[in-house]
A and B are shown apart, each in its own frame.
Chain A
Amino acid sequence: MRNDIAYTKEMFEKAPQELRDSEKIKRPSIKYWADVWRRLKQNKLAMTGLVLLIILTIMSIIGTQISGYKYYEQNLKKINMKPNKEYWFGTDELGRDLFSRTWLGTRYSLIIGILAALIDFGIGVLYGGIAGMASPKVDSIMMRIAEVIYSIPYMLVVVLLSVVFSEAGAGTSMFVLILAMTITGWVPMANLVRGQVLQLKESEYSLASESIGASKGWILRKHIMPNTLGPILVNLTLTIPVAIFSEATLGFLGLGLQPPKPSLGTLANDGLAVMPIGLFYQILIPAVLISILMFSFNVLGDGLRDALDPRLRK
């Protein structure tokens, strides 16, 4: 259609203000992580886990100061006392206050779990990232090595290292415990990161970025890293309970921290020794705490995974 109408100023009128505002973005735009947090908040189970974790963390920091007894303080007149007004969690067979010992044990278990998971995370991201970005040949060699390391039964390595680096019956230092756990523990993280990098490297937006001249480093920083962060975070959260579990198992087998330092595993081990004489509370308390810790990290990790998964977005 030919357009031969002569336009004059009178033919137009100013749009009213409200019409102009209708297209304005008034509500704050929700960033990715804010959205994740919003959906995580709706997950009651995950929030329960988070709250429990916060409480346990606070207690592990201040809990040793509350009862007024030091964790190594022995009172041989008051051994194996059931929980009472004076000793809230009772005393052990050396008359030590189990309240202080339990929270210190929680502290060590948390520290070991989180440190081991962080080291796994560091090594895994580096190794997996390099393998993913490297040439297929290098990648294949690196992954074969990782495969061999991973098929070494991990608990055997942990036990062996603890045996070698600790005096007979004297327990293990925290450093050795963490080392033993991270030797094979980083491989799943490396596999995850490598898989993600390989997948994202081939994605359309990486290709688009590359086609307009972006460098490899730019693509890695701007496109690959932010997108792998979610799965890595989930994996990190789910690695912590595994590490706490391994530490507890080692402690239970008598390969835990050096006494008198407690961890939840060694406390449970001490508790097992007195269980036949009817002192069930000594194993009950650390056992319940380990279970709560593992439960919290597990549901938090699951919740994070659901919150990060765009397919589950409503």
Chain B
Amino acid sequence: MSKYVIKRLAMAIVTLWVIITITFILMHSVPGDPFANENKRIPEAVYQNLLKKYGLDKPYSQQYLMYLKNIARGDFGESMKSNTETVNEMIARGFPVSASLGLQALLIALIFGPALGAIAALYQNKFPDYISMIISIVGVSVPSFVMGTFLIQFVARKVNWIPIGGWGEWRHTLLPSIALAMMPLAQMARLMRSSMLEVIGQDYIKTAKSKGISKSAVILKHAVRNAILPIVSILGTTISNLLVGSFVIEKIFGIPGLGMFFTTSIYNRDYTLIMGITVFYAIILILMLLFVDVAYTLIDPRIRLTEEGR
């Protein structure tokens, strides 16, 4: 088991290194330098100082090593456009907002998605099945930004106590987290339905039933517990989709999260900020994937046993 974790950790570090390197190469292959626009207005000496400040006067190899070293220390450098905040401070300000929004959406998806799928499977080809399948097809087909704008138009504009945008109170989180949760919720419902249908047909369910266990116990203890495993396995991708989805949702609802910083940094061509947020996102995502995979092997004894053979 620990061998598996170590192997996965090594893979994660390699992946991170690849991402950092790609990001570095990409950002430095942009023609011109970030101060090119202001070049005309600022005196030559100041320009040279700016280059020096960001280490841009050194050869690429040295810059690369410096960047790696700084990231290892957890320092993403200074923003090229903001004079008041470093990249670290921006991440520290934006990430809690994004994380709480993402977590809330994940919770909504995790509570309602599997439940919807399980109900659909238990009432296969009956009315509840159709309803939940309609919800999940709509959820899979409607992109989060469409969902977000529709919620603003048809809910926030009609209901007074739900604000159109902004951040701060509980009320602000309601619509964005619903818009963000719809797609993973639908995916989970679909997955849960098919895996539940498969589990219900298994022999151990028949055994449990024939022993005379109550229906709810059969469903909750034997069916759901086994059917929920595929949901755990897609959690990693779900989390990564939530993070990306939050770019869009934060833009629509005007939420000051990390996604908003990212989109504005793209508009501003703030390269250190783009690099910083990309690498930060990558670290979070890879850690999440690692966590989910390890958790999965802990939950499913079948994997734990066959792991030695792999």
Contact = CB atoms under 8 A, between A and B. Distances in A.
Interface of A: 45, 144, 147-149, 151-153, 155-157, 159-161, 163-164, 168-169, 241, 245, 248-249, 252-255, 268, 272, 275, 280, 283, 287-288, 290-292, 294-295, 298-299
Interface in B8-27: 11-12, 14-15, 18-19, 22-23, 26-27
A253 B247 contact: yes
Contact of A248 (B12, B15, B143): B143
Given A156-B244, A159-B278, A249-B248, 17 more contacts: A151-B12, A160-B26, A163-B266, A164-B29, A168-B267, A245-B143, A248-B145, A249-B247, A253-B251, A253-B266, A254-B263, A272-B149, A287-B150, A291-B141, A291-B142, A294-B143, A295-B140
Contacts of B274: 160, 163
B27 A287 contact: no
Contact of B289 (A144, A151, A241, A283): A151
A170 to B, nearest CB: 12
A27 B149 CA distance: 55
Contacts of A241: 141
Given A148-B18, A152-B18, A168-B269, A253 B143 contact: no
B281 A156 contact: yes
Nearest to B271: A163
B63 to A, nearest CB: 17
B66 interface: no
B88 interface: no
A147 B290 CA distance: 12
B6 to A, nearest CB: 15
Q: What does DSSP make chain B's interface, helix, strand, loop or mixed?
A: helix
B26 A153 contact: no
A254 B146 contact: no
Nearest to B285: A153
Contact of B145 (A159, A161, A163, A252): A252
Contacts of B56: none
A295 B137 CA distance: 7
A254 B252 CA distance: 13
Interface string B120-151: 00000000000000000110111101100110
12 contacts: A153-B285, A168-B269, A248-B145, A249-B244, A253-B266, A268-B145, A268-B149, A275-B153, A283-B149, A291-B146, A292-B141, A294-B141
B282 A254 contact: no
B240 interface: yes
B266 A249 contact: no
Contact of B282 (A153, A161, A292, A298): A153
B90 interface: no
B42 interface: no
A151 B263 contact: no
A291 B240 CA distance: 22
A280 B153 contact: yes
A252 B143 CA distance: 11
B29 A298 contact: no
Most buried by B among A155, A156, A157, A249: A156
A255 B18 CA distance: 24
A161 B267 CA distance: 14
B65 interface: no
A164 B247 CA distance: 18
Contacts of B281: 153, 156
**Interface range for B:** 35 or more
Contacts of A288: 146
Interface in B243-260: 243-244, 247-248, 251-252
Interface string B30-64: 10000000000000000000000000000000000
B141 A253 contact: no
Contact of A294 (B140, B153, B286): B140
Given A164-B27, A268-B146, A275-B149, A169 B267 contact: yes
A147 B8 CA distance: 11
Contacts of B146: 268, 287-288, 290-291
B75 to A, nearest CB: 20
A291 B143 CA distance: 7
A168 B27 CA distance: 14
A299 B269 CA distance: 40
Nearest to A255: B266
Contact of A156 (B251, B252, B263, B278): B278
Most buried by A among B22, B26, B146: B146
A241 B15 CA distance: 27
A215 to B, nearest CB: 31
Nearest to A160: B26
Contacts of B30: 163-164
A151 B286 CA distance: 7
Contacts of A161: 26
Interface string B205-233: 00000000000000000000000000000
A161 B27 CA distance: 9
B14 A148 contact: yes
A280 B262 CA distance: 27
Contacts of B19: 152-153, 156
Nearest to A150: B15
A249 B153 contact: no
A219 B267 CA distance: 53
A255 B263 CA distance: 10
Contacts of A149: 18
Nearest to B247: A253
A299 B30 CA distance: 41
Contacts of A148: 11, 14-15, 18
A50 to B, nearest CB: 15
A254 B267 contact: yes
